[in-house]
Structure 1
Amino acid sequence: MRLIQFENTHGQRQVGVVEGSQLSVVKATASTRELALSAIRAKHSLQEEVSKRGTEAGPDYAALLQNRQILPPLDHEDPAHCLISGTGLTHLGSAAARDKMHQHDGEVEAGMTDTMKIFKWGIEGGKPAAGQVGAQPEWFYKGDGSIVVRPGSDFPVPAFAEDAGEEPELTGLYVIGDDGLPCRLGYALGNEFSDHVMERRNYLYLAHSKLRFCAYGPEMRVGELPRHLSGMSRITRNNEVIWEKEFLSGEDNMCHSLANLEYHHFKYTQFLRPGDVHIHYFGTATLSFADGVKTRPGDRFQISLDAFGAPLENGIGEGMPALGIGQIKAL
């Protein structure tokens, strides 16, 4: 089952089940989060909750995408209660581009870079036996729900940004139950959107480079994730493709199990606040930046993967104002 959230012609939020070119609208439901919390409390699956509520014929899916009425497939009415985070160096092949960034003039200082050390730890211990804790991955905070851009819309770019680059990834979508336990609702395509020029300058700037807008969706895939996933990441400029490349995901293409990545995020008790939403990016091995692409306002990203239905598309907007020097007040 694949779910979306959208705005109808009256501006009201609804949840839809994707069934070909048409949607089936879930009755008496205004959000995926509400649907999920009801399912958790009833101790049954999301599919069962949808079946219990019933559906009715809905609008044309392509028209909603065209009109940018599609919302992220999971969010929170209070953006402060939606946490965006992620992990890096999780995919086989993800270390090469990162390692180049973190060398100096092509030379490794004092042996292996920290990038390669973390990647090696993942290769050796990222897929532990069931019930065991594996190697800890790289982790980053990206922001709260206020940085999420709906599918189809443009990414705002801070005035101080040095780069506006895509990162095609899978995301895990979670709600924390009343008992404080996280519940994964499903997965969605994601564009993690980062400043790779800043990151390349020094790996300690990784945290800065991640504080950018992001997108995920348009659909949430509910159920088991295939172990091998092959998709395409594209950039168009003036309606022409200027770069495209296959990206691989799924556990067969990763050095960490999804369970291990989830554990190392949710082991922190501050992430277990009942009712909160978490969107977690699982990493990538494919970046246009690594191939020397320099994006600019007006470019558009497209991330597609057949198992996730419609592609995730977003553009690069114009620069947005930033806080100026001397604008911080003292009381």
Structure 2
Amino acid sequence: MAPMLTLLQHRSRGGARGVAACRDREAWLVKGYADVRSLAAAAIARGTGIAALVEEAGSGGEIDLAAALAAGELIAPIDHEDPAHLVVTGTGLTHLGSAEGRDKMHRAAAAGEKLTDSMRMFLEGLEGGKPAPGETGQQPEWFYKGDGTHIAGPGEPLNMPAFARDGGEEPELAGIYLIGPDGTPHRLGFCLANEFSDHVTERHNYLWLAHSKLRQAALGPELIVGALPADVRGTSRILRDGEVMWEKPFLSGEANMSHSIANLEYHHFKYPLFRRPGDVHVHFFGTATLSFSDGVQTRPGDVFEIEAAPFRLPLRNPLALAEPQQAAVRSL
């Protein structure tokens, strides 16, 4: 098996953009490309894979990724010059432990039923979320999260709106896609991510899930090109005043999911709206590990830290409280 290839986006202190590639212990700048989207578009146009194009482009010089991360030179591994053409979405109740936390959150609202709506959806996914090739599986819970303005990169703050009731982490994986000229979705790879949400709002009424999800999300610096390992194991932690105040392992990858990646992709891209040529999609695959489920209340200044093999670099983001904004509507 060939060593895993990862891509990163680099921005120098002077603002110059570039693409970095890493394989084994070797990391280098890719000649001729300023961003990952342009690299992927070139691969689509030429009918080749990203890895082959990276090898063909050659090296523009070595790069120390750890030093670049510490210097704040690694940005989110995907973006779009027009943020309105980057679509952020996700799915929930997809992991084998994810139903328990949600079930606790609104069990009281469904006290007269044997199963809550969330548990029922989870069990349906468990039964039909991994269909045989060529078959259509059970559709998952789905949510819209925002556009490119909602993407935070490594080290950037995750801003909790002034009206929010909570700002909580969700350690998970995200698929990154570019829609080709003919409307075909092309998966570039996978990122480590923090699908930041408002769990207090969701707990109040699970029909407020949409409100809880309209938040920023953070992407780790690395984009794994190609297949994702079936078993991904990592650690999610929260640091307060420099000390770890909560820490827990988390599992992802298809071996730990009730849905296959292919099934989640099908039920997202079956809508023509999401197959608009040139658009970028960041799609979150869900998680089963939340500090909120353990009674943790985050506060501004806390730092979320997520790490998981095979990703080499961690994702760290501080929690911040945004200033109130005017949202009054004027009649014309």
**Is the shorter-chain TM-score for this pair beyond 0.5, marking a shared fold?**
yes
Question: Contact 2:31/2:60 (CA < 8 Å) preserved in 1?
Answer: yes
Deviation at 1:59, TM superposition (A): 3.3
Name the structure 2 match of 1:136: 139
Gaps of 5+ in 2: none
TM-score, normalising length from structure 1? 0.96
Between 56-65 and 313-322, report the one with greater CA deviation: 56-65
Taking only aligned residues, the RMSD between alpha carbons, in angstroms, comes to 1.3
Count of equivalent residues: 328
TM-score, normalising length from structure 2? 0.96
Deviation at 1:70, TM superposition (A): 1.2
Separation of aligned partners in 1, 2:200 and 2:37: 36
Separation of aligned partners in 2, 1:70 and 1:294: 29
Question: Contact 1:84/1:279 (CA < 8 Å) preserved in 2?
Answer: yes
Name the structure 1 match of 2:68: 64
- Is 1:238 the counterpart of 2:241 in the alignment? yes
1:32 maps to a residue whose letter is V
Name the structure 2 match of 1:38: 42
Separation of aligned partners in 2, 1:52 and 1:22: 16
What is the 5 A alignment of 1:240-319? 240-319=243-322
Deviation at 1:21, TM superposition (A): 6.9
User: Which residue among 50, 55, 64 is the counterpart of 2:54?
Assistant: 50
Separation of aligned partners in 2, 1:22 and 1:5: 16
Question: Contact 1:160/1:322 (CA < 8 Å) preserved in 2?
Answer: no
Deviation at 1:60, TM superposition (A): 2.4
Residues 215-260 of structure 1 deviation map (CA, whole Å, 9 limit, x = unaligned): 1121001121111111000100011000010100111100000000
Question: Contact 1:157/1:320 (CA < 8 Å) preserved in 2?
Answer: no
Name the structure 2 match of 1:16: 20
Separation of aligned partners in 2, 1:54 and 1:321: 48
Tell me the SS of whatever aligns to 1:309.
coil
User: Which residue among 229, 234, 239 is the counterpart of 2:232?
Assistant: 229
Name the structure 2 match of 1:328: 329
Separation of aligned partners in 2, 1:5 and 1:202: 39
Deviation at 1:41, TM superposition (A): 1.2
Question: Contact 2:162/2:321 (CA < 8 Å) preserved in 1?
Answer: no
- Is 1:180 the counterpart of 2:179 in the alignment? no
1:208 maps to a residue whose letter is H
2:143 maps to a residue whose letter is F
User: Identical aligned pairs, as a percentage?
Assistant: 54
Question: Contact 1:22/1:61 (CA < 8 Å) preserved in 2?
Answer: no
Separation of aligned partners in 2, 1:19 and 1:254: 27
Between 58-67 and 38-47, report the one with greater CA deviation: 58-67
Deviation at 1:75, TM superposition (A): 1.2
User: Which residue among 115, 118, 122 is the counterpart of 1:119?
Assistant: 122
2:63 maps to a residue whose letter is P
Question: Contact 2:66/2:313 (CA < 8 Å) preserved in 1?
Answer: no
Tell me the SS of whatever aligns to 1:219.
strand
- Over 4 Å off, 4+ runs: 19-22
Tell me the SS of whatever aligns to 2:322.
strand
- Is 1:77 the counterpart of 2:81 in the alignment? yes
Tell me the SS of whatever aligns to 2:166.
coil
Question: Contact 1:228/1:248 (CA < 8 Å) preserved in 2?
Answer: yes
Residues 149-179 of structure 1 deviation map (CA, whole Å, 9 limit, x = unaligned): 1111111111101000000010000000111
